[in-house]
Structure 1
Amino acid sequence: MTAPATTPHARGLKDHPFVRWLFGAVLIGGYLRFIRMTSRVVYDPPDCWQKAQADWPVIAVSWHGQSNLAYACIPDTSNLALLISNHPDGQMAAAMARSFGYRTIEAAGTSDARAQASGGLAAFRGMLKALKDGTTLFATADIPPIPGRNVSLGMIALARRSGRPVFAIATASSRRKILTRVWDRMQMNYPFSTIAFVAEGPIWMSDKAVSDEAYAAELKAALDRVLERAFAIADGKAQ
Structure 2
Amino acid sequence: MSEIIQKKKDSVLKRFWRKNRGLLMETWFVQVFIVWLLVNYLRFVYWTNPRLKSSDDLTKTYNSYNPFIITFWHGRHIMAPFLRSRDEVVMAMFSRSADAEINAQLAKKLGFEIVRGSGGRGQTHHVNKGGAQALLTLKNALKSGKTAAMIADISHKKAREAGKGIILLAKLSGRPIIPCVYAFSREKILEKTWDKTAIPLPFGRSIVLVGEAFFVSKDANDALLEEKRMQLTDMMNRLTDEAYNRLAIGE
Structure-2-length-normalised TM-score: 0.80
The 1-side partners of 2:173 and 2:53 are apart by 27
Greater gyration radius: 2
Q: List runs of 5+ in structure 1 lacking aligned partners.
A: 1-8, 110-115
Q: C-alpha displacement at 1:43, in angstroms?
A: 6.7
Matched, 1:208 2:220: yes
**Partner-residue secondary structure (3-state), 2:128:** helix
Equivalent in the alignment of 2:37: 27
Matched, 1:178 2:193: no
The 1-side partners of 2:203 and 2:118 are apart by 37
Q: Deviations over 1:120-139 (max 9, x none)?
A: 22111111111111111111
Q: C-alpha displacement at 1:172, in angstroms?
A: 1.2
Q: 8 Å contact 1:77–1:101 — kept in the other structure?
A: no
Equivalent in the alignment of 1:80: 90
Equivalent in the alignment of 1:112: none
RMSD of the TM alignment (CA)?
Answer: 2.4
**What percentage of aligned pairs have identical amino acids?**
26
Q: Deviations over 1:64-105 (max 9, x none)?
A: 011112333444474111112233332211221112111111
Question: For residue 203 of structure 2, what is the amino acid of its counterpart?
Answer: F
Q: 8 Å contact 2:152–2:166 — kept in the other structure?
A: yes
Q: 8 Å contact 1:52–1:202 — kept in the other structure?
A: no
Question: For residue 114 of structure 2, what is the amino acid of its counterpart?
Answer: T
Could you say which structure has the higher strand fraction? 1
Matched, 1:118 2:118: no
Matched, 1:71 2:84: no
**Partner-residue secondary structure (3-state), 2:155:** coil
Question: For residue 174 of structure 1, what is the amino acid of its counterpart?
Answer: S
Structure-1-length-normalised TM-score: 0.84
Alignment of 1:1-239 (within 5 A): 12-24=23-35, 26-42=36-52, 44=54, 46-76=56-86, 78-107=88-117, 117-206=128-217, 208=220, 211-236=224-249, 238=251
